[in-house]
A and B are shown apart, each in its own frame.
Chain A
Amino acid sequence: MTSMATTRADDRKSPPDPVPAARAVGVRSVLARHPLVAYAVRRFGLYLIEMWGALTIAFFFFRLIPGDPIQTFIQTLQQNYVYNVQASAEVIARYQHEFGLDGNIFVQYLHHMKKLIIDHDFGPSLINYPTPAQDVIMQSLPWTIGLLGISAVIAWVAGLGAGAVAGWRRGKPGAEVATNLAIMLGHVPFYFVALILVYVFAYSLGWLPARSAYDSNIPVAFSPQFIGSVLQHGILPAASIVIIGIFNWLLSTRMLMIPVLGEDYLLYAEAKGLRPGDILTRYALRNCYLPQVTAFGLSLGFIFNGNVLVEQLFNYPGLGSTLVTAIQQLDFNTILAVTDMAIISVLTINLILDLVLPFLDPRVKYWG
């Protein structure tokens, strides 16, 4: 399966052999002499297999759901445009072709994969016909990336710091309270926190808005008022993600820190008279933060799951809301596009992290 990719990657990646006499023929020996290349090729092959598998499962999953999207679409047309004529067979066939719904499911699958891989096209969206599904997504994506991206990074950085301190000062009352709180709350879904925050800050105190992403009275522009309004509306949803995120990262960082704390080089650093803060950040944390980089990449996919709920709760115009609307209207192209994009981004982030990690940390050895 990967032999084709192997040959191509070798032609590009392997440096000229310093010992011409040792130049053996064949892919196998080149790979044996360049374990890093072999690792990269194998990892990339796995990436392609996983990608194909996940996209295929997603496609068949959504197509096997009962329901006739074309009928739904024509009904919507009739309601919206008082379009009272009964849809003819030709009209239905034309829309079926347009939405990639003609032929049996395997023909549809090949059609979908071909459009996805060659044209990078997910087909037209049903809810916003004839806008392509990817354009519908692009309208909501910035909101989601802005809200989630920023809060996820804040949570990760703060959680890493808190976890390092909690591990460093373990046994001390403050650190133990924080750890136990994290055990209690680390896996609580973040829309619980969101609900409580909304109740307290939006309804009881009336300090912050409870719904939507910006004040609709302010024109959408790159003005200070508009940006201020967006930030104000983002505080509550972001806070709910950050609070739970910090607890989660605190726990896992602490678990990584504790084995490191017994190591000899920390004792040595202490004996040299380095300040505890320096030992913690430059010696202890440095040696255990990399797994957390990988975990962060993986967590992006899971954030997507919970994000749907937070966006619904706050009526936030992001990807999650688009997805829920699309599912309610049987908009297959948009549903698939959102899911496929989530799959592609999680797998790609993981691939990049796995390929870059050996260069960041010399102890990481996946090959040889």
Chain B
Amino acid sequence: MTSTATIGRVLRAPVGVVRSSPKLAGGLIVLALLVLASLSSPLVSRAIGHGSDPVAVAAYERWLVPSPAHPLGTDQLGRDVLSMIIGSMSTSLQIGAIAGVISTAIGVVVAFLAGYLGGWVDAVLSTFTGILLVIPTFPLLIALSAYAKEVTLFQVGLMLSIFSWPFAAKIIRSQVLSLRTRPYVELAKVSKAGAMEVIVTELLPNLAPFIGVGFASAALGAIFGLVGLEVIGLGPSGVIDLGHIIYSAISTGALTLGAWPMFVVPIGLLTLLFAALNMVNIGLEEVYNPRLRSER
């Protein structure tokens, strides 16, 4: 098999998968819309601020009610809530992407080592993964973030992926185990293909959907983790995500002041994001396990 054919196969498979599942397609569309919205952050800022920075402190009156000039009103420091939310949404998405990529990469390596080599390597790695899964991660995250002040976005992502890779590893390992005894893998081994070659050409393309599921769960876990930290006010101080806006809504009394956009909109957006990633997850699982599909 030539390398171009392999790449073609790897690329063609996802298109077919997306076509066959409305849930997957729906989830991806919502996800794309959210990414687009967060990318439009500079445009929104310019439209609202008319050249000046709408999220600068005291840019406007404090606690303005929603109006055409400020569709979601302003916050306790006179910042425009809409531009703040759009900007912090891109932070949330970036955290998800960074932590998702790191955890999936670790998960894939661990899963392949465990699933493919088997024996004591598998025993040690699986036990270790299992141990990390029973440790309550939230206390550890709180502890980490309480002392990790002034960190970069990448460092936060790295911190969050320490705790989300075991999920990815578990999902992928179980699939590696079921795939490695399939006839075509045996055939490849008999025809003297090296371990690396078998993994790259035979296993990886067929594992793509499960790697996708692992990525989506890890990204979800990381966004959830950071929002959780921010909501109780223990988030890393260098990063402002959607959870931070929810936190400032709670701590400044936006709930009692009736400034509902400050927490309803971030919660709505995060719920949409969770729903989209979840639809992608369930969609991918359904495609590869037709018994789960609902009858139409």
Contacts and interface: CB of A to CB of B under 8 A. Distances in A.
Contacts of B274: 187-188
Nearest to A167: B294
A335 B168 CA distance: 28
Given A46-B127, A53-B127, A61-B140, A255 B278 contact: no
Interface stretch (B93-101, B105-113, B150-158, B259-267): B259-267
A196 to B, nearest CB: 7
Interface stretch (A82-90, A265-273, A283-291, A306-314): A306-314
B134 A176 contact: no
B82 to A, nearest CB: 19
Given A62-B143, A189-B224, A196-B264, A258 B291 contact: yes
B228 interface: yes
A40 interface: no
B138 A304 contact: yes
B131 interface: yes
Interface in B234-275: 234, 246, 250, 255-256, 260, 263-264, 267, 270-271, 274-275
A192 B250 CA distance: 12
Contacts of A179: 294
Contacts of B147: 65-67
B279 interface: yes
Given A170-B295, A328-B146, A346 B139 contact: no
25 contacts: A49-B127, A50-B134, A53-B131, A57-B131, A58-B140, A62-B140, A171-B294, A171-B296, A188-B271, A188-B275, A189-B224, A189-B228, A192-B267, A192-B270, A198-B255, A199-B263, A199-B264, A258-B291, A304-B138, A313-B231, A323-B142, A327-B234, A335-B143, A339-B140, A343-B136
Contact of A308 (B142, B227, B279, B294): B142
Contact of A347 (B134, B227, B256): B134
Contacts of B232: 308-309, 312-313, 324
Contacts of B23: 183
Contacts of A188: 270-271, 274-275
A203 B255 CA distance: 7
A259 interface: yes
A54 interface: yes
A46 B130 CA distance: 10
Among the interface residues B134, B256, B260, B292, which one has the most CB atoms of the partner chain A within 10 A?
Answer: B134
Nearest to B228: A309
A312 B246 CA distance: 14
A256 to B, nearest CB: 10
A305 interface: yes
A338 interface: yes
A65 B134 CA distance: 21
B220 interface: yes
B132 interface: yes
Nearest to A181: B275
Interface string B275-296: 1001100100000000110111
Interface in B195-240: 220, 224, 227-228, 231-232, 234
Contacts of A132: none
Given A183-B23, A189-B224, A195 B131 contact: no
Interface in A247-282: 255, 258-259
B267 A195 contact: yes
Nearest to B229: A309
Nearest to A195: B263
B131 A54 contact: yes
Contact of B139 (A54, A313, A338): A338
B184 interface: no
Nearest to B137: A305
A316 interface: no
B205 to A, nearest CB: 26
Contacts of B282: 183
B15 interface: no
B134 A301 contact: yes
